[in-house]
Structure 1
Amino acid sequence: MLLGFLLISKSRAQEVYYEPGQAHIPGTYDFLLKNGTTLRGQFVRRDSASYLIRTKKDGDQLLPVNTIVRADLIGGTLRSGPDYPNGFPFRLFVMPTAYMPEKRSLYFQSSYVLFSRLDAGFTKNFSVGTTFQTLNPRNFHTFSAKYGVKLTERTRVALNVQYIGIRLNEQLLTRFGLAQGIATVGNLERNITVGAGVTFSQKGIASSGVVTIGYVRKLTPDLTFINQNNILIGESIEPQYTYLAGLSSAGLRFNRRRHAFDTALLLPVYSSNGLIRTSPLPYLSYQVRIGK
């Protein structure tokens, strides 16, 4: 888990932006202009009065210095291929962010083929979702609802509530819930998510606090890096039992126009006989937007 925290801290520290008159790092930038628009491109040359910026869509653009508010470094060189946005910003790998699914859109996700998830955006502030074991939903199923609002252009907050049912055997179905407050700061292509909440149940699984920390950064026009970390706090299970203490993960999202592929390495951290252990696991998922 420490590795995940260090990765996030280091990534935040390396966020680069350019102010007119300062030296810049070669690469692709999002230029924020005084009229509120954003222009993506690369520096070609500059003088005391203007900057020549090369864009993929509109070619070379000559901009006066006083029209540029700032420029955020987002990646390497421009590519000739299409530039796909992160079409699923409301989700890290398995945990939500404060972004909302698009209104009147349906999203489908399949993880390992064994698990399926559907998310539906009803309004710009409210969405619902369900996850289930593909072949036998009775063995594992969840239902969730999320309400979120945009506080500023770069800050969003949300409340996510989830019911989870796991069938341990034919006679025992364990039910528990998760309620979590979430804040996401940044934009669709580079943001940090922090969440805090609690799990609760009547039997079978002890209640605990849950902390989520996630980081998203677009690396290239069609590739996004994602880091997700979850920590369970205050587990009240006897030491001789094995239980999950947290989950750290890092991987890539391959973006396309209406769908994406996720591949990552999961590091579940668990306690067994009083010892902290982990076993790396691969993660694969496919997700697609249905509708507009």
Structure 2
Amino acid sequence: MRIFLLLSIVATSFNALASENYSDHEAFCLQQPKTHCLTYIETRLNEVKDNPAQWYKIKTYQFDYYYDYQQFENLLNAITPFLEQDKLPDVFKLQMYFYYAKALNYIGKKAEAKTYAAKAFTQLDGIYNAFGDPLRLVELANLHYVFGSKKAAMRLLRDAEQRFAKNNDPIFHLELHINKAHIYLKWQQYEHAVKSNLMAYNAIKNTNHAAKIVLASGNLAYSYQQNKEYLEAINYYKTAFKFTEPSSIYHAIYSLRLAQVYLQIGKKVQAKEWLSRIDRNATEFGKGHAALYSKLQHALSNN
């Protein structure tokens, strides 16, 4: 996910899902839409193995894919062989540290994650100063959120918003507003979170980036849910299903959230129906979602 993203805020833990990086596997894979994305990435890696610049770039798409689909064990395994190598392209090194820090944080290795986040901070500062890419500034804010200060993160995001207001890249605006929304949610400023997530959704909804539309829809739904606008939440969770496969982790997450919303508004029959759509044995929830599933299962079994 360059997102989310994602993240997705509905994934309970911001730490691993807030934002993808600026190597975007989805756009790359649109070159061969009939081929499974990971298969296409691996094929291209073999084809360009004699071209280091191309190989490193495509390798970051593989990192991006694993990150986007929460395959953190695969991501860590893919990155580990490079950690002790000195002669790596700067942008590749940055992305490697970014993904590694986020994945370690997600699995609970927080001290080690901070070590690699510090390395990513250094790389991001240098690359942003050299190239001025707006997405670098968003990623720097993202790392400040996870490993530093939320206030510093918001200052960077507002700086990016003002400095690149005329930028036409929908992914930049998606990333910018989703990251702002995450902070507003942490500050319990739910109306601001809704506004930011709506701007993120509107930025991406008319593109071909299906995975990003899924995350933006889910993020918007979650912010509506937190703001107690339950019917809007239901609408946007269901919107996400138009772009997800039944086997997708997001299909399970949004089904879980729909069960929660329906229970919140007293519609227990619908809540049970949505919870029953989740194959728990086949779904690898994170700790937060697993706890929510158990809580809902207990609440609904007693009614």
Q: TM-score range by the shorter chain?
A: under 0.3
Which has a greater percent of helix? 2
Q: Which has the higher strand share?
A: 1
TM-score for the superposition, normalised by structure 2:
0.22
